[in-house]
């Protein structure tokens, strides 16, 4: 009898161990600054991540070797602070998360990436990280960045301003950090390539409230287009003051990277005729690519059914990141970080998104056919509803809008 019990215990242990890598439910980390400067944007990122988890769970879970595996989203607030974010990341790892995404504050994403380099975990930062982060050897083997660097944002903005809008004289306003400087370098590269002139430059720190002095310089320089790197609350403050001073009547105003959160924070008269690059805009019904429009609408309908409003750009960034994490688990047939990374890079790293085809580059950055859409702000008279904020004028994408791999040391 004792021998039979021992054999039974051994079989139970063996059985339990064989399924240890594929439990019935696994935890997925969602770490974002849900309080503080970036809270409004972070909320949309959280919602995109949770929607991705819902999509997988509603089909029964991940298709893993032992069967279906459900997902549990574990949400924590990093407060956009290095010490808080690192501490809560470690807590999530101790809690056994199988993958993690998040961050709106790029320096924190880079700090977490450094920890992932030492102790691998599938990590999907869903913010715009600095160009430097994509240099050879910087991103961990299991880190994949759904959004590109600010350099690409700037290059797309500059290209659109010059090629699409026909502008030749640019005044550029940076933010005094890697985000602003990378956008500046991208704008300058596009200006040089397409024959535009930089007629003025200035930079201000994150959190600047009064742009009066800068805007007086802009007016004196008499540019064709004023391109600004400001984002989130800073962009709202800037664009309000641009309208109050009447600069939007004297030149084309171009906010390099925009979201619906920013647009909703502006009075219609301050958003009217402002151009910007939008990672994903919810209404692509007039886009000439009907397959793109169809795929975008399917995602918008899915998101709207859950949240009662259309998805913003950063919700799309997060959704793509988490869906790629889950695709990696299924393709690798394991939660092992390095095997997941290899699976994502297989077959040319190609994958599909709500904004068209994409691929993972060697630098672990996502390259999109439609990296961003050129949008134009609508005034009150042109809006057909609460969320009718922009018209889509064009798009930029492909390898040409990314820093060359050679320039990054590959």
Q: What are the tens digits of pLDDT across the range 39-79? A: 989 999 999 999 999 999 999 999 999 999 999 999 999 99
Binned at pLDDT 50, 70 and 90, residue 11 comes out as very low
Domain architecture of the chain: domains with CATH: 2-147+296-368 (3.40.50.2300), 150-278+371-408 (3.40.50.2300)
pLDDT score, position 20: 47
* Euclidean distance between CA atoms 381 and 363, whole angstroms: 45
Closest CA to 131 of 365, 313, 340: 365
- 8 A C-beta contact, residue 66 and residue 19: yes
H or E, element range at 106: helix 106-118
**CA–CA gap between residue 156 and residue 185 (Å, rounded):** 11
Task: List 360's β-bridge partners, or say none.
Answer: 366
Q: How many CA atoms lie within 13 A of 360 on its CB side?
A: 24
Q: How many CB atoms lie within 10 A of CB 227?
A: 29
Give residue 10's Cα distance to chain centre. Answer: 48
pLDDT score at 36: 84
pLDDT score recorded for residue 286: 87
369-394 pLDDT tens trace: 999 999 999 999 999 999 999 999 99
Q: What is the pTM of this model?
A: 0.92
A 10 A CB-CB count for 5 gives 9
CA 137/CA 156 separation, integer angstroms = 26
pLDDT tens sequence across 161-177: 999 999 999 999 999 99
């Amino acid at each position: 009898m004792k021998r039979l019990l021992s054999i039974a215990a051994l079989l139970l242990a063996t059985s339990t161990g064989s399924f240890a890598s594929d439990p019935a439910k696994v935890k997925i980390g969602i770490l974002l600054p849900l309080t503080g400067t970036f809270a409004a944007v972070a909320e949309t990122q959280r919602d995109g991540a949770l929607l991705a988890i819902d999509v997988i769970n509603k089909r029964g879970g991940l298709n893993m070797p032992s069967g279906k595996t459900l997902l549990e989203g574990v949400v924590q607030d990093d407060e956009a602070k290095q010490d808080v974010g690192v501490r809560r990341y470690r807590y999530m790892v101790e809690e056994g998360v199988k993958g993690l995404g998040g961050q709106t504050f790029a320096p924190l994403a880079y700090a977490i990436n450094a920890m992932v380099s030492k102790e691998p975990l599938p990590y999907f930062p869903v913010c715009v990280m600095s160009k430097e982060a994509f240099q050879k050897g910087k991103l961990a083997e299991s880190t994949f960045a759904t959004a590109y660097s600010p350099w690409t944002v700037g290059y797309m903005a500059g290209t659109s301003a010059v090629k699409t809008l026909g502008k030749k004289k640019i005044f550029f306003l940076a933010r005094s950090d890697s985000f602003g400087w990378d956008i500046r370098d991208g704008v300058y590269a596009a200006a040089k390539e397409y024959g535009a002139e930089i007629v003025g430059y200035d930079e201000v720190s994150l959190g600047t409230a009064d742009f009066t002095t800068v805007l007086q310089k802009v007016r004196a320089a008499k540019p064709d287009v004023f391109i600004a790197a400001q984002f989130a609350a800073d962009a709202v403050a800037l664009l309000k003051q641009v309208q109050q001073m009447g600069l939007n009547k004297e030149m084309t105003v171009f906010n390099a990277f925009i979201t619906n959160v920013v647009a909703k924070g502006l009075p219609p008269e301050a958003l009217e005729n402002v151009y910007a690059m939008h990672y994903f805009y919810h209404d692509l019904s007039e886009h000439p690519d009907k397959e793109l429009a169809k795929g975008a609408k399917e995602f918008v309908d899915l998101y709207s059914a859950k949240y009662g409003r259309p998805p913003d750009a950063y919700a799309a960034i997060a959704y793509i990141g988490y869906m790629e994490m889950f695709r990696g688990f299924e393709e690798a047939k394991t939660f092992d970080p390095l095997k997941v990374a290899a699976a994502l890079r297989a077959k040319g790293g190609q994958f599909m998104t709500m904004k068209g085809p994409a691929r993972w580059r060697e630098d672990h950055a996502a390259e999109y056919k439609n990296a961003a859409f050129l949008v134009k702000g609508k005034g009150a008279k042109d809006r057909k509803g609460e969320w009718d904020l922009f018209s889509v004028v064009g798009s930029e994408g492909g390898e040409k809008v990314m820093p060359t791999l050679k320039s990054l040391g590959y």
